[in-house]
Structure 1
């Protein structure tokens, strides 16, 4: 969530940042916000005035009681009680107005917060301007033997044709759950598992992440904290609504373990010495892919259920952009070890995700499509998620300050499987196993049907 103080002090800057994402910006109803803010400001001033008046009136009660004691000594009881009642009635009158004012102020602040829950983060100054992916900037390319992907001297097969003899089964997946679900058995299932294990080992043993096991189902508050709700409710799978426990509570399958890993620090004050906190997890991810009908309907590129090894860092604000660059390198290390050609792309303002201030995509080469496809997205969210979650640390001055949160794929396992099959295929349909994966496959160097 954006800082409400920034909107109050520099609304023009906020609107300009939102327009960089999409123009005209559809995210913030500026007129409604200004109306709420004007009322809030008036009420805030009046509330502070009433609190001051109440303090003064409370003191007058004490003075009146002292005067009353002296009057009683002269047996002037009526005047004594009158002084006390008058002073108390003033306090009661102020309290009544103050109660109404404070309740309305609280309601206004809640209404403004609800409005801001659907407003995306502002782009960092270094992010290129652009309306869509055509304005993204390529940063670098890598391939095992130079900058160009491998050339094939035989007809290229796609991962579906290569994977089916190895146990990749879309028909059984569709029978069990519907379209965009996959069933794997035998060699392909083992390769899929090997990829996830390799990625976890690399991130934990070489890059200092702590391996975590997280819930696959979370409550709505957890999804609000990381920005999936309320904006992207249509993309989520609801697992439960109502029931004997927690009547009326909605639970959701996680779209990524970014949600669970980042939320570990929700409501916490982290010691500054503990930063950065680096976590990784291998989980399934569940996405309804709302609005993506007709895209990548063949194969594993776009599934309702897929596996991912996620990287999350909880960082000091002074070091979060260094952490972003490091995390990109951590994702690149996986692709290089798997000997997969890829490129790093800096996303423009119009193509970034909801919570990000700056994002790099890693795109792996998919030979059958003759193009690069996203396999990792690494983002700095600065304090956007932390503000929603109230995730803080105690700084050197002893004050509580919001942490910065970063997340990235390290990597999407299904898409890595696609890339390994297609980039390492042989003319007979067998697959050369990258050296980094062979220990996880019992030393096998070629996969055959």
Structure 2
């Protein structure tokens, strides 16, 4: 029982079987796992009313299911939205990301990281930090394009330090999650608890730190958190898809601090490393690939590790689900399908609006509305520009989607295009939003 998420995933099918579809959707469908500590499972409900009713009517059922599954007496508490927000911000409560990292990340360790010329420096730096946290290379800043192994190294640091220092208080979080937690703490007037939560830890791991760039309040809070931990000799590890010098919307004082320690970039793997990755991953999956197939994949997939793993999993599916032999023809087919699927992916305008709203910390409905507030108008114009640039929708179709005349869309797109010519920060914003949209695929 490593995490609240794992426990909740275990009992959900039993609840679905025990209750009717309507009852399950009404009472349990919107519950979210918050925390698991010793013998207590904490869940978050969509409203105070439902939280109260579940505690009164269904708590014994949930506890009995837990006892049947895990042979242990586990208490259950369902919190309403405000209580859940306060709980997340409470001192000593690890963020949900800390639980999520334990689920499905056990394979991401140093001994399973394939080292080559493209990543050796970053690997050695991460290993040094894990073996002696807070003493060497603080902060450690890992950067490189998506799918090259930054998160693998971050998880490896986490697991190694947890193994050797089980008493260490560690926080792992993503840049956008830090922003969201801060917004929630401000809304609930719990900023003091939020600060204490982050500033009394032994190790801070932040994935995708570039997400805080351009967010003034988040940068202010992270600046103070960074200083507090650094001055106390606590280890900080950050990852990003670019070096600090390329984060145009990052405050100079943060950029300077990110460069204080050691920066290590990860490049796409070379041919020999790709072969080693394919061989290692196939063995882990129980797939004994012939050397010629390994070499064929390595020659044709060169961008990142994620695509290599995707090809291997596709081959395994051919074998297990269709009974196909693993040969050059099927390897070629798997590669073609992987590349074609990625190239043919066209996101819906809803996804683009959602990611734009998330980036600007707005409600998607606000962007779709008629507000003339400057920040909302900009987000709406950016959404229109991205929709026009990466979908096949015409101006009238985009206008219909937003409930606007097509000339409004045209002027919005033209304004963004004109601004991009002289505004590097806006270029970075649009690049980030497009990357987030692609990550949804």
- Give the alignment's TM-score, normalised by structure 1: 0.22
More strand by share: 1
Of Structure 1 and Structure 2, the greater helix share is in: 2
TM-score of the two chains, using structure 2 as the length reference: 0.23
